[in-house]
Amino acid sequence: MVNFLRGERLTVVFKHAGLRPRLALEQIELILKRHGVPCVGFELDGDPPASLTQALTRLEATHTNDFTLVGQGFEFHLSSLWRWKLDFLGIRSEIKPGYSWDEWATPFSRSPEFVMAWVADCEYEYWQNACDPLEYNVLGKSYAGLPMISNGLPYLLEQQIIDTSRNPGRRILRDGYIEVIGAVMWLGESFWQLSGADRKQVAEADWLRTSNSAPSITRLQAAERCFTTIEEGSAAVQAKLRTLLFPARNAAQGDRLVH
């Protein structure tokens, strides 16, 4: 299996312009150093390996806010989406960290610009959101039997793509947040107004484990491990969680899936 499908990924969402490379890399460096992970040997957007400090210098010199940094078994990807009024940082570990994802999520959640975060199995989340048949063909994976839909483009550009709009693990960009679910999630103060979810109803759901790592942060856990299947009742749990967290949302024309 190709590297980008290995392991788990924590995705942290901030308000737009709330998460810049300096903040992201400083927090990353603190956690790596705490666990004795060298802060060198990272490829920045495919460039020769560098330290985290050198990477930050390059980014600030070019006024670049988006980056992909790979090294030491991790991948860090920062993207700023002004159209959707959000920034997000993906932190992927090829092997499950020997320490909790809470250690990564908590420092970011303390920021007033924090919106939400979740953990996902990379392979499961990828295929739940892969709509281009080429993504299947390149990796030798069959998409026979999957629902298909037009991409909605004009004649000559129109083609059939895989319909992911009903997949339990789908991701949809919304203004200021991402409609997505994870076995473990952290929800900030602004999340509730953006999503329309009822904080009290979430806290009282007896099938969830909820806690507050800070007065404004709700941590919820719907399963012991990341979702990896739509079988054995897992799809029902995922659908139930999505309905609870995004009660006013239904798949509609114009939704932008996150790939």
Q: What is the pLDDT of residues 41-64, one digit of tens each?
A: 999 999 999 999 999 999 999 999
Question: What is the rounded average pLDDT of the residues 76-97?
Answer: 91
Q: What is the pLDDT of residues 119-171, one digit of tens each?
A: 999 999 999 999 999 999 999 999 999 999 999 999 999 999 999 999 999 99
Cβ contact 66:78 at 8 Å: yes
Question: What is the rounded average pLDDT of the residues 13-19?
Answer: 98
Has residue 255 been placed in a domain? no
Cβ contact 15:190 at 8 Å: yes
The pLDDT, as a whole number, for residue 248 is 85
Closest among 124, 105, 125 to 115, alpha carbons compared = 105
The confidence band for 70, taking pLDDT boundaries of 50, 70 and 90, is: very high
Helix ranges (DSSP H) in 43-170: 52-61, 102-109, 122-129, 133-138
pLDDT above 50 for 252: no
Query: Token pair 């009282």 is at which residue?
Result: 204
The confidence band for 251, taking pLDDT boundaries of 50, 70 and 90, is: very low
Rounded-to-integer distance, Cα 103 and Cα 108, Å: 10
pLDDT above 70 for 258: no
Has residue 114 been placed in a domain? yes
pLDDT above 50 for 2: no
Rounded-to-integer distance, Cα 220 and Cα 235, Å: 18
Tokens of 37: 């992970």
Has residue 259 been placed in a domain? no
What is the domain range of residue 188? 3-248
pLDDT above 50 for 201: yes
Has residue 253 been placed in a domain? no
* C-alpha dihedral sign at 7, 225, 129, 249: negative
Rounded-to-integer distance, Cα 259 and Cα 128, Å: 10
Rounded-to-integer distance, Cα 201 and Cα 245, Å: 10
pLDDT above 70 for 254: no
Has residue 254 been placed in a domain? no
- DSSP secondary structure code for residue 82 in this structure: G
Q: How, if at all, do strands 74-81 and 148-150 pair?
A: unpaired
Name residue 107's amino acid: P
How many Å is the Cα radius of gyration of the chain? Answer: 19
| Total of domains in the chain | 1
Question: What pTM was computed for the model?
Answer: 0.92
Has residue 257 been placed in a domain? no
